Amino acid sequence: MSTRKSMKLPIVITFLFICIIVYLFMNIKQTVIVCEKDTSFDSNIHLNETVTVNLDNKRINSLDVVKKVTLPDKYPKKEEALSAIQHSLEYTIEYLDENASCVIVDNSVIANIHVDDNELVLLDNISFVDNNGEIGISIDTNTKSNQAITLEVGDNYTDGELMMFLKNKGYSCK
């Protein structure tokens, strides 16, 4: 009988120790990096890109990208230009299916992209030229291009490496 009583304390301590370890593993937080880049083009056209990267154990877990193109209030043929921008953005992100959307809000076109599978996202790949009220849109979809930045879910980066990489490309990161 005395040997059974002495076994209860080690079993309780072991169970408590296992519970603490499981609790600590369940509460490990992912690293979240938010980077932003503002670019101005001809005729005061602005492009704002915000990238939110979730890193887990030196791997990109998910990417959230918001691309916002804003035209000035007094832009000639504004509705046509916004529609052309929206069409161009939708065409380039259609490969993402339900993971991407593009809407017109006031003077802006906003593209929202959320990726958590092994999908590729291109950053800093849009440029605009104003030809006397006719907007020229150039979107670089070449994944091997030196001009565009490619990020993919599953890429291996530490938080410092990723922040330095994006800062060297003109982004400001938090």
pLDDT at 12: 87
pLDDT digits (tens, 9 = 90+) for 91-146: 999 888 889 999 999 889 999 999 988 888 999 999 988 777 678 888 888 888 78
Does the pLDDT of residue 1 top 50, yes or no?
no
pLDDT digits (tens, 9 = 90+) for 35-85: 999 999 888 899 999 999 999 878 999 999 999 999 988 888 888 889 999
Q: Which structure tokens are listed for 70?
A: 């804003």
pLDDT at 40: 93
pLDDT at 2: 54
